[in-house]
Structure 1
Amino acid sequence: MSNSSLKTAAIALSEPTLFFPFEICKGKAGKKVLISELAQTVLCSSYNQFVINFCMEWQSNKNGFVVHTSGSTGIPKPIRLTREQMKNSVEATAEALNLTQNERFLICLNAEYIAGKMMLVRGMELGAEMIIIPPKRNPLEDFDKKMWFDFAAFVPMQLQTILDETPEKIVILSQMKAIIIGGAPVSYSLLKKIRSTKALNRVAIYSTYGMSETVTHIALKRLNGKDVEESADTYRTLPNVKIKTDERGCLVITAPHTLGKEIVTNDLVSIKNEKEFEWLGRADFVINTGGVKVFPEKIEVFIEKYFYELDIQKRFFISSLADEILGEQVILIIEGLPFSKKFENDFLQHLKKNLPSYHAPKQFFYLSEFLLTKTDKIDRKKSSDLILK
């Protein structure tokens, strides 16, 4: 699908609409708004009015939009995206996921950030009926199970909550054409739940790779389906995205939605071919211990599986401390009450036995509660600093 075909197809589009199903205004619940009527629309909630205002800006053919990075790996910073970049991103996603005109989208990501904004832009460009739900843990909890959508985007916590707390709403998920999950890694427990829920077998569910600078995702990883291997950890790029690595082994991206500009990331990857790569971890998280480079994220996946098997529901992450002999030593920081000494010893022996040399944590530390970013990701640096003080 080219830019020109999108413009030609726009003649046949139904007018995009926004629907606020649980908005109560002037004593009436539910308010449907034609895009052409946005200027005359006044809603009660400030969030829904924010959505209206952004859509008005887009429909006015505004050429540039300022978004902020998430702050998960540093201080949030503003970046400017052009209308052309955002439309190119829509085109690539529509082609990759076979999104067509006049479908129904569930918009439940925070529209103050790029992922939520781009769901709105996709809806407007494809003439969708957009059902707006202010961001919440379970965006389906208030819907009747007869409700249906063609496409939705969730953060992992939202999909996990739907599957765990409202299994009767899985029928809504099962009717979707595609679901994308982003904003945080998909946990092992969520992955197992997705793959073991038979009703989801017909839905294409993907984990996304991207960032604000690339106008959300530039690659997708299929999480379910009969052809997906249990250990598959490979992302496939969207159409017309080019990838390579720099001298550090970090991913470099060029795409229509970067306007041909190279975006140099801090993500260490293993490139399989011109379209596929495996994500290894963040370059700024790598721990050098005893001359060995350790990727914290790989250890975390192993620990996550171990905790899942023991039904331990604790958040954690791998970090490091300075070490006079090793340079750095690997440590494990866990949220909540400490484990017993016996469990710690057994756990440590299990890690030493099953992980490569120098990968097992030397020490365990505990925090009553992790510090989070504005987008509810664990702030590793600030949480680690609490330990080091």
Structure 2
Amino acid sequence: MYLNDCFIDEKALNSANVERWVQEKMPTADAFCRQCLHFMAHFLSPAPTITVQTSGSTGTPKALEVEKARMRASARMTGAYLGLKPGARALLCMPLEHIAGMMVVVRALELGLSLYTVTPCADPFAHAPSKLDFAAITPMQAHCVLQQERSRAVLATCRQIIVGGGFISADLNATLGKLPTQIYHSYGMTETLSHIALHRIDALKPQAPFYPLPHVRLSLDKDGALCIDAPAVAATAVQTNDLATINADGSFVILGRRDNVINSGGIKLIPELIEEKLSAVIKSPVAISARPSARYGEEVVLVSEVPLDAGVLQQAYATLGRYEKPKALIIAPIPRTATQKIDRLRLKQSLSG
């Protein structure tokens, strides 16, 4: 494979010689490129497992030992589904501390891709090569890329893009869906070694269901939370906290997380579903959370990082059901995890003081 147009001899690369190898072969490599090389060397070592960190979106991040063979299997599943061929030009612009970034590198190693690195940032396409075949980005990055003419042009000429790690608003879905690029929204987690399901983003279908990759079986527990049986990437079935519905054709829709449910006066409300409705009207970042209430136990509140126009609020609230409407608007920073997901635990704690 190639990294930033430099041939990587996978048999010769090891943790002991990375820095010497960089000095000889890639003297202008930046810190992120060097980190990528260190990860490659670690992954190519004889050890059968590697340690990965969960995102921490529902609490303290935890370390997991995963089998490298299963990471390779995940890479092959993605490659087969998307038709990625040796030599395809792929972009790494996600942190290597988490599974999403790691799997970009593993796909390059396993599928023989030509990998290009851009230090993770809001708009990685500003610094990316002009011709790419594949990239994996977050919704936040997708939003920022679309704001810049050059970046948007690079994105539009990339053959395939996976957007994962969070919710895609109706507005972002509509914009991405109009581009000529094949853009997919992905569903997965650390325990499944990144995505196990995808759906092609369509401007006319903002709430399209995910379709599982081959040999992935799904079920729901008694609470309606998704259980994933994907033997190629996980030794045992993975019980998630994601509330879902499964359609007759095997596709599924994620409603929200079980541990995020707000119980307001006995009515159970899912913040993610409320946010999805609001995103059709409110274009700035907002979050739905709860604060203590003597009357309801918990009451729904809307948190926004910027003031919102009264007319916009009225229009947005008109899309909500009776019990979904926030009791208050709070202007405050929205805490996020290292992977830019809303840190709902910290947010809720900040509203309880």
Q: Same fold (TM over 0.5)?
A: yes
Which of 157, 166, 186 is equivalent to 1:208? 186
* Equivalence for 1:372: 336
Structure 1 residue 287: Cα displacement: 1.5
Could you say if the C-alpha distance between residues 93 and 326 of structure 1 is closer, same or farther in structure 2, counting changes exceeding 3 Å?
A: same
* Equivalence for 1:357: 322
Please say if residues 150 and 176 of structure 1, whose CA atoms lie closer than 8 Å, have aligned partners that are also in contact.
Answer: yes
* Equivalence for 2:275: 300
Letter of the 1:41 counterpart:
W
Structure 1 residue 153: Cα displacement: 0.6
Letter of the 1:194 counterpart:
L
* Equivalence for 2:260: 285
* Equivalence for 2:218: 243
In structure 2, C-alpha distance between the alignment counterparts of 1:118 and 1:143, rounded to whole Å? 19
Structure 1 residue 372: Cα displacement: 2.4
Which of 147, 151, 161 is equivalent to 2:144? 161
In structure 1, C-alpha distance between the alignment counterparts of 2:157 and 2:95, rounded to whole Å? 23
Could you say if the C-alpha distance between residues 353 and 88 of structure 1 is closer, same or farther in structure 2, counting changes exceeding 3 Å?
A: same
* Equivalence for 2:296: 326
In structure 1, C-alpha distance between the alignment counterparts of 2:343 and 2:96, rounded to whole Å? 21
- Cα deviation 1:89-139 (Å, max 9, x = unaligned): 112111221112221111111122111110000000111111111212222
Please say if residues 84 and 257 of structure 1, whose CA atoms lie closer than 8 Å, have aligned partners that are also in contact.
Answer: no
* Equivalence for 1:384: 348
Could you say if the C-alpha distance between residues 323 and 171 of structure 1 is closer, same or farther in structure 2, counting changes exceeding 3 Å?
A: closer
* Equivalence for 2:40: 55
TM score, norm. by length of structure 2: 0.89
Please say if residues 233 and 279 of structure 1, whose CA atoms lie closer than 8 Å, have aligned partners that are also in contact.
Answer: no
In structure 2, C-alpha distance between the alignment counterparts of 1:114 and 1:172, rounded to whole Å? 25
- Cα deviation 1:206-231 (Å, max 9, x = unaligned): 1111110110011112113xxx7434
- Cα deviation 1:25-47 (Å, max 9, x = unaligned): xxxxxx65444553451255433
In structure 2, C-alpha distance between the alignment counterparts of 1:162 and 1:352, rounded to whole Å? 29
Could you say if the C-alpha distance between residues 276 and 76 of structure 1 is closer, same or farther in structure 2, counting changes exceeding 3 Å?
A: same
User: What secondary structure is seen at the aligned counterpart in 2 of 1:370?
Assistant: coil
1:3-82 → structure 2 map (5 Å cutoff): 16-19=1-4, 33-36=8-11, 38=13, 39=17, 40-42=20-22, 45-82=30-67
Asked if 1:139 corresponds to 2:139, the answer is: no
Could you say if the C-alpha distance between residues 380 and 233 of structure 1 is closer, same or farther in structure 2, counting changes exceeding 3 Å?
A: same
* Equivalence for 1:6: none
Asked if 1:100 corresponds to 2:85, the answer is: yes
**Structure with higher helix content:** 1
Please say if residues 277 and 319 of structure 2, whose CA atoms lie closer than 8 Å, have aligned partners that are also in contact.
Answer: no
User: What secondary structure is seen at the aligned counterpart in 1 of 2:292?
Assistant: strand
Please say if residues 215 and 257 of structure 1, whose CA atoms lie closer than 8 Å, have aligned partners that are also in contact.
Answer: no
Structure 1 residue 351: Cα displacement: 5.2
Asked if 1:221 corresponds to 2:203, the answer is: no
Please say if residues 95 and 239 of structure 1, whose CA atoms lie closer than 8 Å, have aligned partners that are also in contact.
Answer: no
Letter of the 2:257 counterpart:
R
- What is the alpha-carbon root mean square deviation over aligned residues? 2.2
Moved more, 173-182 or 213-222: 173-182
Any unmatched runs of 5+ in structure 2?
none
Report sequence identity in percent.
32
Letter of the 1:52 counterpart:
L
Could you say if the C-alpha distance between residues 91 and 126 of structure 1 is closer, same or farther in structure 2, counting changes exceeding 3 Å?
A: same
TM score, norm. by length of structure 1: 0.81
Please say if residues 88 and 256 of structure 1, whose CA atoms lie closer than 8 Å, have aligned partners that are also in contact.
Answer: no
Could you say if the C-alpha distance between residues 84 and 74 of structure 1 is closer, same or farther in structure 2, counting changes exceeding 3 Å?
A: same
Please say if residues 101 and 127 of structure 1, whose CA atoms lie closer than 8 Å, have aligned partners that are also in contact.
Answer: yes
Q: Which one has the largest radius of gyration?
A: 1
User: What secondary structure is seen at the aligned counterpart in 1 of 2:122?
Assistant: coil
Structure 1 residue 339: Cα displacement: 4.4
In structure 2, C-alpha distance between the alignment counterparts of 1:260 and 1:59, rounded to whole Å? 21
Asked if 1:264 corresponds to 2:242, the answer is: no
Structure 1 residue 347: Cα displacement: 5.5
Count of paired positions: 343
Could you say if the C-alpha distance between residues 122 and 61 of structure 1 is closer, same or farther in structure 2, counting changes exceeding 3 Å?
A: farther
User: What secondary structure is seen at the aligned counterpart in 2 of 1:384?
Assistant: helix
Could you say if the C-alpha distance between residues 181 and 289 of structure 1 is closer, same or farther in structure 2, counting changes exceeding 3 Å?
A: same
Please say if residues 292 and 352 of structure 2, whose CA atoms lie closer than 8 Å, have aligned partners that are also in contact.
Answer: no
Please say if residues 104 and 130 of structure 1, whose CA atoms lie closer than 8 Å, have aligned partners that are also in contact.
Answer: yes
Asked if 1:149 corresponds to 2:129, the answer is: no
* Equivalence for 1:123: 108
In structure 2, C-alpha distance between the alignment counterparts of 1:383 and 1:232, rounded to whole Å? 26
Please say if residues 32 and 117 of structure 2, whose CA atoms lie closer than 8 Å, have aligned partners that are also in contact.
Answer: no
In structure 1, C-alpha distance between the alignment counterparts of 2:242 and 2:58, rounded to whole Å? 11
